[in-house]
Structure 1
Amino acid sequence: MKQSIVYGFAGLLTLTSGAVLAQSSDDDAHVYIGGSYGGFKASGGEFDDEKDLIEVSFGGFFNPYLGLEASGTYFGEYGGDLATAEAEGYGMALIGRVPLSDTWGLYAKGGQFFWDASIDTPFGSAEADGDDPFFAAGTDVELSSHLSMIIEYSRYQIDTEIEDLEGVEDTDLDTVKVGVRLEF
């Protein structure tokens, strides 16, 4: 079920990419690929040098205000003395953007994050997966006619409810990332 949703969204994004490219450049319609690097904290923790994330994305804007994005995110290891986890996943989101000038805008996005996690506690280890909502807000700045820089805050709500392990709670991952988008 989860794979069919991901494949369906990827197919929709691919089909709509052609429609985006077919529109004139005056409408600011485009597709992009991007990459981001950042840090994250888990449920009330702190940002630190050892909690890095990497994200790749593919998306498109139909006009200056509305777009779709598919992304893959890898979180490094996080946790404390009693439990650690490592998570990665794929997100699908709808983007709303407000252009503030010809080269700068603010955006918000929300969607679903399909994740897998490995969890280790003193009571044992387990694998978990699921799909939970995520949302983000950010800014983009045009560096050239085909290259933009983004700065983004995101929150991923990963609900790791594992009956076999005690002491594992649901986790919110707050991220701050900087990235670039190559626009076509």
Structure 2
Amino acid sequence: MKQSIAYGIAGLMAMSSGVAMAQDRYSDDSHVYIGGAYGGFKARGGDFDDDQDFYEFSFGGFFNPYLGLEASATFFGEYGGDLVEADAEGYGVALIGRLPLTDSWGIYAKAGQFFWDVDVDSDLGSASTDGDDPFFGVGTDIRLATNLSMIIEYDRYKIDTAVEDWPGVDDTDLDTVKVGLRLRF
């Protein structure tokens, strides 16, 4: 037991020294990054109420420690009910406001526009629709290494999937929770 505690303390000391060394590089004001995330989403509105998963790729940058811009590509899985199923994907552009709480941890909010495509299948047939609607989110980032951060984020995508003459197919909000990594350059 004493040996396990000693190994645990040694491991914490090694990790904290790595974080301290990374702080000099990470405290730069501006940077660019690429990222990837995986998470779950919940479709709200109409009959879309199943929990599903999705993935996202992003490219962004910060002009200073507080303000950034991000472009993302998001791929949702199939969702829907017994009568109607849908498959959505799209790309977004968002402005990010970040509040650094420590040298290795911060919280942020973002808002932007999401350009989407949705394929809808039902007993009445199939249809495709597309559009652009706003989205917003909040999250936290935690630096794991000099150039690597982990994010945890909640987003809401407002998608107007209204297909003319189809009952039960209307506006759908997609609520997402994701975990991801960002590689900083």
TM-score, L = length of structure 2: 0.82
Q: Which is worse superposed, 75-84 or 37-46?
A: 37-46
Give the conservation status (yes or no) of the 8 Å contact 2:60–2:70: yes
Q: Distance in 2 between matches of 1:114 and 1:26?
A: 33
Q: Distance in 1 between matches of 2:101 and 2:116?
A: 34
Residue number in structure 1 paired with 2:133? 132
Q: Any gaps of 5 or more consecutive residues in structure 1?
A: 1-23
Shift of 1:53: 0.3
Residue number in structure 1 paired with 2:31? 30
Give the conservation status (yes or no) of the 8 Å contact 1:39–1:47: no
Higher RCO, 1 vs 2 (CA within 8 Å, ≥6 residues apart): 2
Give the conservation status (yes or no) of the 8 Å contact 1:124–1:165: no
Q: Distance in 2 between matches of 1:110 and 1:151?
A: 16
**1:64-143 matches, cutoff 5 A:** 64-143=65-144
The structure having more radius of gyration, on CA atoms, is 2
Helix, strand or coil at the partner of 1:63: coil
Distance 1:47 1:30, change over 3 A: farther
Shift of 1:127: 0.3
Shift of 1:26: 5.0
Shift of 1:119: 0.2
Superimposed CA distance per residue, residues 115-169 of structure 1 (whole angstroms, 9 cap, x where no aligned partner): 0010012222100000000001000000011000000000000001211422212
Residue number in structure 1 paired with 2:55? 54
Q: Any gaps of 5 or more consecutive residues in structure 2?
A: 1-24
Shift of 1:110: 0.4
TM-score, L = length of structure 1: 0.82
Distance 1:39 1:47, change over 3 A: farther
Aligned CA RMSD, in angstroms, stands at 1.6
Shift of 1:25: 6.9
Q: Distance in 1 between matches of 2:122 and 2:170?
A: 12
1:152 and 2:153 are equivalent in the alignment = yes
Q: Distance in 1 between matches of 2:177 and 2:107?
A: 15
Q: Distance in 2 between matches of 1:144 and 1:72?
A: 25
Helix, strand or coil at the partner of 2:109: strand
Distance 1:148 1:25, change over 3 A: closer
Distance 1:167 1:46, change over 3 A: closer
